[in-house]
Amino acid sequence: MRAGRIAAWAVLGLAVLVTVFPFWWMVRTALTDAHHLFSDNFSLWPQHFTWANFKRVLGLSSLAEAQAAGGSGASLDFVLYLRNSVVYTAVVVAVQTLSCAMAAYALARLRFRGREALFSAFVAALMVPPIFTLLPNFALVRNLGLLNTFAGLVAPILLMTPFTVFFLRQFFLSLPREVEEAAVIDGAGVWGVFWRVALPMSRGPLITIALINGVHAWKDYLWPLLVGQEEGSRVLTVALGVFLQQSPNARPDWTGLMAGSTLSVIPVLLLLLVFGKRLANSLNFTGIK
């Protein structure tokens, strides 16, 4: 029994190490002087520590200073792309969470013909890889003239995702019916029960699914790459790719790229640190692991 526990902890520790190491290597590269990046390649700690990579990514260094610090001369309007990512993520999270909550409540509580078939369709949609819908969505957005706009960016995922509907339906099914019936006796209609009873009682799962959707939208790359090519609609993940492409092929600006990537992770990391425990509790409650 003791040997089994030791083995389990060893496997868990190995899994944590494999998960955390790429993040640490990214931070370590961002803090290393570009001139000594490859000479310090076998060290876990930055032997030639510097903040210069962060300064030039944030636009706090002139072109001459950036090149003297080992930069390639590539530029990145970090504040603009950060704003675009925040707007894109906030709109998707707010609208998608509310609309999916309404759909999930209807599938959990309302009685109408075809309800089970409709829910089966949602579950089946979970099995469809997103890449299959990429080209049809792109053709539709292009025909609507929404390329390089925020409307085109959020269009395919704004209202609903099958996972969010499934997740919230599982929770709404567990709500005590007596509370909702008491609200009906007090004169509340379907909308009133949903808005004044079901939603306040579902605050934890709603925050959890908003966090999951927010992380997904924040790190989304392929769809914003296709639709948001201009600076006004370019999000941070795409901008980092453009930043790398501006570097010479023979000498990519790895330190600048890792500095930008580290800064882009900080908002999501803060959210996970604040709401991580609530996220784990809600996933355990719904049986999704």
CB of 166 within 8 A of CB of 126? yes
For residue 191, the one-letter residue type is W
Query: Where is average pLDDT lowest: 10-19, 37-46, 135-144, 275-284?
Result: 275-284
pLDDT at 288 over 70: no
Q: Kindly list the distances between the CA atom of residue 166 and the CA atoms of 13, 119, 185, 232, in Å, as whole numbers in the listed order.
A: 32, 8, 29, 34
- pLDDT score of 101: 93
- pLDDT score of 285: 55
Number of Cβ atoms within 10 Å of the Cβ of 14: 10
Least Cα distance to 283 among 172, 202, 173, 167 occurs for: 167
Backbone dihedral angles phi then psi of residue 184, each to the nearest 5 degrees: -65, -40
Backbone dihedral angles phi then psi of residue 11, each to the nearest 5 degrees: -65, -40
Q: Rounded to whole angstroms, how far apart are CA atoms 162 and 125?
A: 6
Give the containing element (helix H, strand E) for 166: helix 162-174
CB of 152 within 8 A of CB of 146? yes
Percent of the chain with pLDDT over 90: 30
What average pLDDT score do residues 229-249 get? 85
Q: Read off the pLDDT of residues 115-144 as tens digits, 9 standing for 90 and up.
A: 889 888 888 888 888 888 888 999 999 999
Per the structure block, which two tokens stand in for 265? 């992770």
Q: DSSP characters for 195-258? A: IIIIHHHTHHHHHHHHHHHHHHHHH--HHHHHH--SGGG--HHHHHHHHHHTS-TTS--HHHHH
Q: Read off the pLDDT of residues 69-91 as tens digits, 9 standing for 90 and up.
A: 777 677 778 889 999 999 999 99
Please state the pTM of the whole predicted model: 0.83
Sorting pLDDT into bands at 50, 70 and 90, what band is 274? confident
pLDDT at 268 over 70: yes
Least Cα distance to 264 among 82, 29, 24 occurs for: 82
Task: Please tell me what DSSP assigns to residue 197.
Answer: I
CB of 165 within 8 A of CB of 209? no
- pLDDT score of 289: 45
**If 0-12 CB within 10 Å is exposed, 13-18 middle and 19+ buried, where does residue 6 land?**
exposed
Tell me the pLDDT of the chain averaged across its residues: 86
What average pLDDT score do residues 24-45 get? 84
Find where tokens 């992770």 sit: 265
Sorting pLDDT into bands at 50, 70 and 90, what band is 38? confident
Q: Rounded to whole angstroms, how far apart are CA atoms 257 and 263?
A: 10
CB of 197 within 8 A of CB of 179? yes
Sequence-ordered list of residues with C-beta below 8 angstroms from that of 131, at least 6 positions apart, any chain: none
Higher pLDDT, 60 or 145: 145
pLDDT at 68 over 70: yes
Q: Rounded to whole angstroms, how far apart are CA atoms 234 and 231?
A: 5
**Residues 68, 73, 78, CA angle at the centre, nearest 5°?**
110
